Amino acid sequence: MLYGVCRRKHLIIDGYLFSMIMEDQERTERYNEDALRYSEYFKGKIQTISKVPVRSLDDFSIWYTPGVAAVSRKIASDPDLSFELTGRWNSIAILTDGTRVLGLGNIGPEAAMPVMEGKALIFNYLGGVNAIPIPIRVQSKEEFVKVAKALEPSFGGINLEDIESPKCFFLLETLQNEMNIPVWHDDQLGTASITLAGVINSLRIVGKKIDQVKVVFNGAGAANIAAAYLFKAAGFKMKNMILVDSKGILHPEREDIDALMINNPWKYQLAIETNGERVKGDLSNAIEGADLLISAAKSGPDTIDSRIVKKMNNDAIVFVLANPIPEMWPQEAKENGARIVATGRGDFPNQINNSLVFPGVFRGVLDARAKGVNFDVMVAASYEIANFVEDPTEEKIVPTMEEWELYPRLASAVASKTVELGLARKSDSKEGFYRRAREIIESNRNIYSKLMDLGLIKRMPNGEHKN
């Protein structure tokens, strides 16, 4: 199994915390050692291979000169035909400047490449998408925009990755407005989409309505700012939301509000539109009477005192999404009154994982030859993910990455929504998009399995198998 998870069924109890942390550290160190060793062995995670038959040298006269000239002339007459006559229809660029890579910070474009290759692997394996990692060396956000726009003729979409805030907001907004292909920033949109999906099912379980709940976002970086705007698109009331950053609750009278207006207008706008009661202070003040806490803040079990959950309403919902250690331990949240708890980890129930989102979303926008992606498309994606869980429970509010059927279903929902919104170049029924997505994903996975069976994808060093 490509993505195994280690599940511990025991609870976090006094005296066990230290040994659990040691186990996590030892496992992490082992993965680090394996990653270095295997990267040296395989020399990268992806490669480009031909997909057309070459029966003899004469076939090059079809695939290259002189035959290729006819294809070029056809595309010159209508550039959109590049989606039909070349691999552009199924290709995206993963663009980064390496300024915020994982938890490592600004490590530069070269050091970002292993992460981008890993992302490309997931795109290909789960979504059948040909994703090309492109770390770039740029000095300004304007230069980044120029590079991205110059690459547009080669790709059907752009995935922005691991870019520092607030630059990432500027890049996403600018490129979405100025490019005719979908532009997605997974740290914003992917995390926001899967968060909304989990919240939809959580509210179904506790019997609360979207337009009535009070939501507190702890942390005001890329993920939670995007989530706040996505929640608005899904029908949550802005006046019922409160955002808390390292300086406290966002509100229009904060002393840094003028600086926010200049340096981070996206955060500034939320300071103006949210917090209808104009609550001031810190998280402890914000959480009073809340139905839902979504934290995307500093990693560590003491980032949030779990006792503040007692200040929330009955049937409280707590999402503590920091990795590798959530802001409070799930069991402690439950002991203090939370009914549903989600984290970013696979060894606890309810993992909020954006890998459930981006492969299917890009499969959908590529199949529809979409010109863009917006919050309405993302709301549709979140509902499709939530609805995939037919009988949600307190410990199963979202699917897992092993439920392969999710991805073609998500792709068809996304593709259909782009048609409905007039963003698609190619139209089909939801069932038609589903059949195409499933065919592409299954065919790609079968090719991958066959290459492994034949030994054309090398085994691990010394013939090792890793589950």
* Annotation says 41 is catalytic: no
Q: What is the C-alpha separation between 103 and 221, in angstroms, rounded?
A: 14
Q: Which residues neighbour 8 within 8 Å (Cβ) at sequence distance 6 or greater?
A: 20, 347
Q: Which of 31, 64, 74, 146 is flagged as catalytic?
A: 64
What's the distance, Cα to Cα, between the start and end of the chain in Å? 5
Please count the residues of the chain. Answer: 467
Cβ(323)–Cβ(314) under 8 Å?
Answer: no
Q: Give strand ranges (E) for 221-368.
A: 241-245, 248-249, 292-295, 316-320, 338-343
Amino acid sitting at position 104: L
List the structure tokens of 66: 């002189």
Q: What is the C-alpha separation between 121 and 410, in angstroms, rounded?
A: 19
Handedness of CA 284, 287, 293, 294 (dihedral sign): negative
Handedness of CA 85, 91, 96, 97 (dihedral sign): negative
List the structure tokens of 416: 């259909």
Pure H helices in 325-429: 330-335, 358-367, 375-388, 406-420
Q: Which of 45, 119, 141, 214 is flagged as catalytic?
A: 119
Element (H, E) at 217: strand 215-218
The answer to whether the peptide bond before residue 109 is cis (omega within 30 degrees of 0) is no
The three-state secondary structure class of 396 is: strand
Q: Which residues neighbour 169 within 8 Å (Cβ) at sequence distance 6 or greater?
A: 188, 222, 225, 264, 266
Cβ(218)–Cβ(327) under 8 Å?
Answer: yes
The answer to whether the peptide bond before residue 166 is cis (omega within 30 degrees of 0) is yes
SS3 of 111-152: HHHHHHHHHHHHHHHHHCCEEEEEECCCCCHHHHHHHHHHHH
* Annotation says 141 is catalytic: no
Amino acid sitting at position 43: K
Active site (catalytic) residues? 64, 119
